[in-house]
Amino acid sequence: MSMLKDRVFLIGMPGCGKTTIGKVLAKELNYTFYDMDKYIVDISGKEVHELFNEGEEVFRKWETEACKELSKKRNSIISTGGGVIKTSVNREILRSSGLVVFIDRPVENIIGDVDINTRPLLKNGAGEVYKLYEERYELYKETSHIKVLNDGFIRDTIDNIKKSLNGRIKE
């Protein structure tokens, strides 16, 4: 990659660590942290579950709007929603406007940690996590510039991301 980027998008399954890792990464890089789901709540005036109750397509439209707006934020780490890669325009926005880091976490770890009651798309139980993983895994890989495994200590994952970003972002 010839041009240095000044924004990093974190993608991956719900519960893979995007928000936790993003907050630490932003602090350590002196970047601003944005949580895309929180940003959607701010710009839509509705909670994520309310938007999903209106239909997943309603939520996805707000998500694309958030992608467009957040892709203009300088010196930022953006934790995306797990399904952001479902929409081709979102994948294009992410890849063209920043470095995309896929945080790959084994499904068993996600199921062991995540409260599925707080995740709209996971409310149908653990089997849903496997289904989403199968549906999305290739899209995560295709969309990302960097893939980092998160299967141990979160500190190790953060350090691995920082090593991968070295020389690829503006500091």
pTM of the predicted model, to two decimals? Answer: 0.91
Instruction: Classify residue 49 by its DSSP letter.
Output: H
Distance CA(90)–CA(155), nearest Å, equals 29
DSSP line for 41-109: HHHHSS-HHHHHHH-HHHHHHHHHHHHHHHTT-SSEEEE--TTGGGSHHHHHHHHHHSEEEEEE--HHH
At residue 5 the predicted structure's pLDDT band, cuts being 50, 70 and 90, is: confident
**Residue 112 banded pLDDT, cuts 50, 70, 90:** confident
Residue 15 confidence (pLDDT): 86
Side chain identity, residue 50: E
- Determine the pLDDT at residue 121: 52
What is the pLDDT averaged over residues 98-123? 79
